[in-house]
Amino acid sequence: MVIEGNSVGPPTAGRDPDDRSPAPGDLRVVQALVNTLSGHTGADLIGIPADAASWLAAAGLRPAGSAVTSSEQRALVELRESIRAVLATHTHGANKPDAADRLTMALMHCRLMVSADPAGTVRLTSADQHPFARAVGAIAIAIAEASATGTWARLKSCPGNRCGWAFYDRSPGGRSQWCSMQVCGARAKMRAYRSRVRGGPDSG
């Protein structure tokens, strides 16, 4: 488990606009990382090193009281945004090699290995001793395990204007696009309507 003793999940910069439940298992940590930034309010829970350290500790990814350097904070922000870019491809059902490459580069801070327990269960574990690398490794393991179970593709980011909120799509067909149809979905429909009325590019 990535989180120990954290039943409510890591902090986010807002609540889910549609009151969805968080992603299952350790994937919720990945979701929470993306949602440390609110596109609507600008609130950023990892915007400075001290805040990044607090968030990592609250997420169970780093010991409480351990410092985060400026370069590590920047790397964590890049990891967040690289994940968001991949989640956007999940939303649109499109393959974007540049988004995949960006995430791959952001995860290069960690080293993983395969370990086996006495019962013969095999799993990915961190091969790093450095606290920040281990935190990145925990995120990488959560993504890899979610991909193996089929839940990774259901974690999406909202394409709404200045949104990007990460949500877990539990719809039967996995076709949800918006964080909330009543919020970003309605705004998008209104913009499209106004564009048609003005005879804009969407009028055809």
First to last CA, the chain: 51
- Asked whether residue 12 is assigned to any structural domain, the reply reads no
**CATH code for the domain of 188:** 1.10.3300
- Asked whether residue 19 is assigned to any structural domain, the reply reads no
Percent of the chain whose pLDDT exceeds 90 = 75
Specify the pLDDT at position 137.
97
- What is the tally of structural domains in the chain? 1
CA-to-CA dists, residue 190 to 14, 161, 186, 199, angstroms: 24, 12, 6, 14
Judge contact between 144 and 73, C-beta under 8 A. no
Residue 55 has pLDDT above 70, yes or no: yes
- Cβ atoms < 10 Å from Cβ of 33: 27
Specify the pLDDT at position 67.
95
Task: Provide the pLDDT confidence category of residue 200 given band limits of 50, 70 and 90.
Answer: low
- Asked whether residue 8 is assigned to any structural domain, the reply reads no
Specify the pLDDT at position 94.
85
- Asked whether residue 88 is assigned to any structural domain, the reply reads yes
- Asked whether residue 55 is assigned to any structural domain, the reply reads yes
Q: Token pair for residue 134? A: 């281990």
Q: For residue range 96-136, what is the model confidence (pLDDT) as tens digits? A: 999 999 999 999 999 999 999 999 999 999 999 999 999 99
| Lowest-pLDDT range of 8-12, 46-50, 65-69, 99-103 | 8-12
- Cβ atoms < 10 Å from Cβ of 96: 13
Task: Provide the pLDDT confidence category of residue 87 given band limits of 50, 70 and 90.
Answer: very high
Q: For residue range 16-46, what is the model confidence (pLDDT) as tens digits? A: 999 999 999 999 999 999 999 999 899 999 9
Specify the pLDDT at position 112.
95
- Asked whether residue 179 is assigned to any structural domain, the reply reads yes
Specify the pLDDT at position 6.
39
HSE-up (13 A, CA, CB side) for residue 3: 19
Q: Token pair for residue 203? A: 């009028």
Percent of the chain whose pLDDT exceeds 70 = 86
- Asked whether residue 20 is assigned to any structural domain, the reply reads no
Q: What is the 3-state secondary structure (H, E, C) of the chain?
A: CCCCCCCCCCCCCCCCCCCCCCCCCCHHHHHHHHCCECCCCCCECCCCHHHHHHHHHHCCCCCCCCCCCHHHHHHHHHHHHHHHHHHHHHHHCCCCHHHHHHHHHHHHHCCEEEEECCCCCEEEEECCCCHHHHHHHHHHHHHHHHHHHCCHHHEEECCCCCCCCEEECCCCCCCCCCCCHHHHHHHHHHHHHHHHHCCCCCCC
Domain that holds residue 140: 27-197
Specify the pLDDT at position 195.
59
